Amino acid sequence: MNDNVDNALTTDDSWKETLAGEDQTRMDALSGYSSPDELFNSLSEAQNFDWRSAAAGDDDKFKSQLERFDSLGSFANSFREAQQKISSGQLQDELPQDATPDQIQAYRQQHGIPLEPTGYTENLPDGLVLGDDDKEIFGSFAEALHEVNAPPEIAHKAIEWYNSFAEQQQDALAEMDHVQHQETEDMLRQEWGGDYRQNINVVGAMIEKTFGEEGKNILLNARGQDGRAIMNNPEVLTGLAEVARQIMHPMSLPGQGNVNPQQTVDAEIEEIEKFMREDRQAYIKDEAMQARLRQLYDIRAKHQAA
pLDDT, average across residues 247-259: 47
Q: Within a domain: residue 103?
A: no
By mean pLDDT, which of 84-98, 217-231, 268-282 is the weakest? 84-98
Residue 1 has a pLDDT of 45
Bridge partners for 229 per DSSP: 223
Assign 121 to helix, strand or coil.
helix
- Per-residue pLDDT band for 5 (boundaries 50, 70, 90) equals very low
305: in domain: yes
Residue 158 maps to a domain: no
- The C-alpha atoms of residue 33 and residue 50 are separated, in whole angstroms, by 23
Determine the pLDDT at residue 237: 93
Number of domains into which the chain is organized: 2
User: Which range of residues forms the domain containing residue 48?
Assistant: 3-88
Instruction: Please tell me the predicted confidence (pLDDT) of residue 93.
Output: 63
pLDDT reported for residue 252: 43
* 214 within some domain: no
pLDDT at 266: 79
Using alpha carbons, list the distances in angstroms from residue 162 to 130, 151, 158, 168.
9, 17, 6, 10
Is 106's pLDDT higher than 70? yes
Please, is 31 exposed, middle or buried when counting C-beta atoms within 10 Å of its C-beta (0-12, 13-18, 19+)?
A: exposed
Residue 93, helix vs strand vs coil: coil
> Which of the pair, 149 or 38, is modelled with greater confidence?
149
pLDDT in tens, 188-203: 999 988 788 888 888 8
Whether 275 is in a domain gets the answer: yes
Residue 145 in any domain: the answer is no
In terms of DSSP H, where are the helices of 67-222? 72-88, 101-110, 132-147, 152-192, 196-220
**pLDDT at res. 82:** 67
**pLDDT tier at 235 (50, 70, 90 boundaries)?**
very high
pLDDT tops 50 at residue 244: yes
Q: Which whole number is the average pLDDT over 283-296?
A: 85
pLDDT at 73 over 80: no
Of 56, 88, 120, which closes a domain?
A: 88
Confidence band for 132, pLDDT divided at 50, 70 and 90: confident
The last residue of one of the domains, among 67, 88, 109, is: 88
Mean residue pLDDT across the chain:
79
Between 133 and 181, whose confidence is greater?
181
Q: What is the pLDDT of residues 162-186, one digit of tens each?
A: 888 888 999 999 999 999 999 999 9
Higher pLDDT, 121 or 5: 121
DSSP 3-state of 59 = coil
Residue 281 has pLDDT above 50, yes or no: yes
- What would the pLDDT profile of 258-275 be if each residue is shown by its tens digit? 445 555 677 788 888 998
Residue 258 pLDDT:
43
Residue 15 lies in a domain: yes
Q: Residue 70: what pLDDT?
A: 78
Q: pLDDT at residue 253 above 60?
A: no
Mean pLDDT of 11-34: 77
Q: In terms of pLDDT, which residue wins out, 205 or 147?
A: 147
Strand partners, 223: 229
304 pLDDT higher than 80: no
Asked whether residue 304 is domain-assigned, the answer is yes
**Domain-ending residue, one of 71, 88, 105:** 88
pLDDT number for residue 90: 55
